[in-house]
Amino acid sequence: MEFSFFYREEMISEAKQTHYDLLVIGGGITGTGIALDAALRGHKVLLVEKNDFAYGTSSRSTKLIHGGLRYLKQLEFALVKEVGSERAIVHKLAPHLVIPEKMLLPLREKRGYGSLLTSFGLKLYDWLAGVTGKDRRLMLTRRQTLRREPLLKKDDVKGGALYAEYRTDDARLTIEVAKKAFAHGALVLNYCNVERFEYENGKVAGAVIRDVLNDKSFAVKSKVTVNAAGPWVDTLRKEDGSLQGKRLHLTKGVHIVVPRDRLPIRQAIYFDVAEDSRMIFAIPRGEKTYIGTTDTNYNADIDGVQTSRQDAEYLVRGVNESFPGAELKLQDIESSWAGLRPLIHEDGKSASELSRKDEIFESESGLISMAGGKLTGYRKMAERVVNLVEKKYLPPFKVRGSLTVGARLGDGAFINYKSVRKYLLALKKKFRRIGLDESQAHYLVNTYGKQSDLIMERFNEMDEPVLELRLLLAELWFAVHYEMVGSAQDFLIRRTGRLYFDIHSVRTFGKEVVNELANYLKWSEEKRDSELVALEEAIHRCVGFKQ
């Protein structure tokens, strides 16, 4: 079977008939990472996600594989060491998707840390993360800093620093991990919601699952059940009757996207907001610049998180204070996204002070819940969970250790970033010949890697005269056949990122995408119309700020 909705009935039939070693609940980076780790070790794995893969936190982060420089301030050296080291590993696994990004850190008069402390901190950061060679931190003079970023407010810049991070697409990374898990034998299903747990002798022995798309329920059996539901972790712990002791503390992070010409920074930059001394990023991505993030407590509807006007105004003020020439306005914002961090509550700590460390909760029923953590550390989080499962819940299995360090993603064609650049140059030449913009080649390679070959084969077979639409429909063909796409939002948000970074194409071609999906998935006219309405609502959520 391919990883496609076309095989959904067969997959659900298989789920009903199989007794699994692990049932993993949650299709974000944590859940898919656990599914891949367990499948590579030879376990029978079923993963279910009530929405689409990467629907929650895993499509709404700052989209960086980064080492967490600010966690040095909280003295979380072990966390910095682990995720710092993981950056290089994840880059090797998907060099087309995890891309080196030099980050500029301006130093200001009477703000933040001085040059000596910053230099020491970044040197410690590099040492903990195992950074070598030209990626090590570089301290800059005032003149060098302003030459690198002329838009910076010049009055109080006294110097700067360059250090290494990696840019990614969080949702694409999650999808590729899910696909890899499926390729290694895990059964991976989206739009399947856990209604209740099933018990034998007081222990979780499976669950009753509702197929959201046809409103039919079915039961599955498993030896171990892992709750990796992100912001919904405590919802499932409550369903299990084990919500006691430690609990989640949800914080909201918001990002805004503006046209590159409205904030034409030359590189990614990490700077402080004068009004509260928090640090935020501004990161170029294609023809856009995105800015974030906020960090505020969140106690409202988990499924209804959205950017507020207050969130957007805060980020705009932060940008204008550091880049006064930009004169950014709310009207410049083309799109935005808001996500929740499922952190672990600590009495007396503010949202920004909470630890990003992950932790495993075990209930008396045997339900294993994973909370906290960072996108960058997904492999190590998965390893800890599967080690625990093998050691305590699946005798006579021996703890063999994770095999994911060798599991290349995105069809595994690229051995390093140099091979990505070589492939990209060849594709750019092809795009020039056929009249497509070179930026589309960058987008295609950074999204799909060498899987772009399949998309271009489909592109060449089609007779759509509008080249931009033809490429979009070729992508859709690929996503439907190989990436379990079941709705326009699956494709336009979590497979391509277009709603955030190319909202114009969504507005222009959204109807064509829905119509093509209707043909592939044999939707009724009523279903097609409801998809169009849902897409319009998604567009409004991106641009219509809550008061």
Tokens at 478, concatenated: 């690929």
Indicate the domain borders of the chain. Answer: 5-57+171-247+356-406, 94-167+249-353, 417-543
DSSP 155-214: TTEEEEEEEEEEE--HHHHHHHHHHHHHHTT-EEESSEEEEEEEEETTEEEEEEEEETTT
156-159-165 Cα angle (round to 5) = 120
Kindly report which listed range (62-76, 364-378, 438-452, 510-524) carries the lowest average pLDDT score: 62-76
Element (H, E) at 368: strand 368-371
Cα gap 22→12, rounded to integer Å: 16
Element (H, E) at 42: none
Kindly report which listed range (114-128, 295-309, 408-422) carries the lowest average pLDDT score: 114-128
Asked if the model's pLDDT at residue 95 lies above 60, the reply is yes
Task: Tell me 491's DSSP state.
Answer: I
What percentage of the chain has pLDDT greater than the value 90?
81
Kindly report which listed range (395-409, 433-447, 472-486) carries the lowest average pLDDT score: 395-409
Q: How many CB atoms are located within 10 Å of the residue 296 CB?
A: 16
Q: Which residues contact 504 (CB under 8 A, 6 or more apart)?
A: none
Domain 5-57+171-247+356-406 identical in fold to domain 94-167+249-353: no
Query: Sorting pLDDT into bands at 50, 70 and 90, what band is 121?
Result: confident
Q: What is the mean pLDDT of the chain?
A: 93
Cα gap 547→538, rounded to integer Å: 17
CATH class of the domain defined by 417-543: mainly alpha
Q: Specify whether the CB–CB gap between 293 and 312 falls below 8 A.
A: no
Asked if the model's pLDDT at residue 547 lies above 60, the reply is no
Asked if the model's pLDDT at residue 367 lies above 60, the reply is yes
Cross-strand pairs, 272: 279
pLDDT at 546: 61
pLDDT at 486: 96
Q: Which residues contact 435 (CB under 8 A, 6 or more apart)?
A: 467
455-457-459 Cα angle (round to 5) = 70
Kindly report which listed range (118-127, 143-152, 276-285, 317-326) carries the lowest average pLDDT score: 118-127
Long-range pairs for 541-545: beta carbons < 8 A, 24 or more residues apart = 541/306, 542/335, 542/336, 542/337, 542/499, 542/500, 542/503, 543/333, 543/334, 543/335, 543/336, 543/503, 545/306, 545/307, 545/308, 545/309, 545/311, 545/312, 545/330, 545/336
Domain 5-57+171-247+356-406, architecture per CATH = 3-Layer(bba) Sandwich (3.50)
For residue 172, give the nearest of 429, 442, 356, 409 by alpha carbon: 409
Cα gap 28→175, rounded to integer Å: 9
User: Which SS3 state, helix, strand or coil, does residue 389 take?
Assistant: helix
**Mean pLDDT across the stretch 170-180?**
98
Instruction: Fill in the amino acid letter for 117.
Output: L
Cα gap 145→271, rounded to integer Å: 13
**Mean pLDDT across the stretch 436-449?**
95
pLDDT at 128: 80
Asked if the model's pLDDT at residue 120 lies above 90, the reply is no
For residue 368, give the nearest of 347, 344, 353, 389 by alpha carbon: 389
Cα gap 379→92, rounded to integer Å: 13
Instruction: Fill in the amino acid letter for 517.
Output: L
Asked if the model's pLDDT at residue 450 lies above 80, the reply is yes
Asked if the model's pLDDT at residue 156 lies above 60, the reply is yes
Q: What is the CATH number of domain 94-167+249-353?
A: 3.30.9.10
Asked if the model's pLDDT at residue 73 lies above 80, the reply is no
**Mean pLDDT across the stretch 358-384?**
94
Judged on CB neighbours under 10 Å (0-12, 13-18, 19+), 353 is exposed
Judged on CB neighbours under 10 Å (0-12, 13-18, 19+), 390 is buried
Kindly report which listed range (116-130, 305-319, 366-380, 391-405) carries the lowest average pLDDT score: 116-130
